[in-house]
Structure 1
Amino acid sequence: MSTLDKVTIAQLLHALKQTWSFKSSSKWSMDNPSKGQCGVTSLVVNDILGGEIRKTPLFEGWHFYNMIHNTRYDFTESQFNESISYEDLPSNREEAFMDTNFNQYNYLKSSVLKELSKTE
């Protein structure tokens, strides 16, 4: 059984928090590490845990997150000061990729997988 077969939400969130950086989003800052990470994070979470990518319109534009076994997981909600009124609109990988690029995606995915491998 590989690490990905038994990864928990808590482990994945920890790995994301350890690896978000300017390399995964140009909006990243030390004060707000999840800023601008929603698209790239939703893609990596989808790769690891499956489920669906969902979106909600916000003032800044679309906000992406994940729906796994009918439960919403928004790993980047901490970037916002106000609570989100989720609409849970269906989305997909193509839309989420419009919020990132391959370099950011490849960096975050490989960094998260490396971080998760430390938990074996």
Structure 2
Amino acid sequence: MNLYTTDEIIDALFKAWSSQSSSKWSKDNPANGQCGVTSLVVHDLLGGKINKTALPNGWHFYNVVNGTRIDFTSSQFSEEILYMDVPSNREEAFEDTNDDQYRYLKQAILDHLNA
């Protein structure tokens, strides 16, 4: 059983996302560039799998938890995502981020969830 609901995690993500978790972040589009780092932190919190799908600007990462696709960063896109559900892993998702961004987001999420 997971300690946190997806609604609690989404709320914490929107509070935590910043230029410290992605160089593409903006106030107008807080999820922009957050897919790799978010999929890693969500994987830490909820387990499951990390999947990816090809988009015009490269791979987009998201989570599959208990067989259900959960894309916490889909709001960054204005167009509909046609999910390919290609199996991925932490190593591939980590290529989309770095240690500092990952550590920052994980700690910020935990701070918001445990507040």
TM beyond 0.5: yes
Q: Which residue of 2 aligns with 1:115?
A: 112
Provide structure 2 residue ranges, at least 5 long, that are not aligned to the other structure: none
2:48 pairs with one of 44, 48, 51? 51
Q: Which amino acid aligns with 2:53?
A: T
- 2:53 aligned with 1:39: no
| Structure-2 separation of matches of 1:92 and 1:19 | 23
Task: Give the RMSD, CA atoms, in angstroms.
Answer: 1.0
Task: Give aligned pairs, total.
Answer: 115
Q: Which residue of 1 aligns with 2:75?
A: 78
Identical counterparts, % of pairs: 59
Shift of 1:6: 2.3
Runs of 4+ in 1 over 3 A off after TM superposition: none
2:22 pairs with one of 17, 21, 25? 25
| Structure-1 separation of matches of 2:102 and 2:81 | 24
**TM-score, scaled relative to structure 1:** 0.94
**TM-score, scaled relative to structure 2:** 0.98
Shift of 1:5: 4.3
Q: Which amino acid aligns with 1:78?
A: S
Provide structure 1 residue ranges, at least 5 long, that are not aligned to the other structure: none
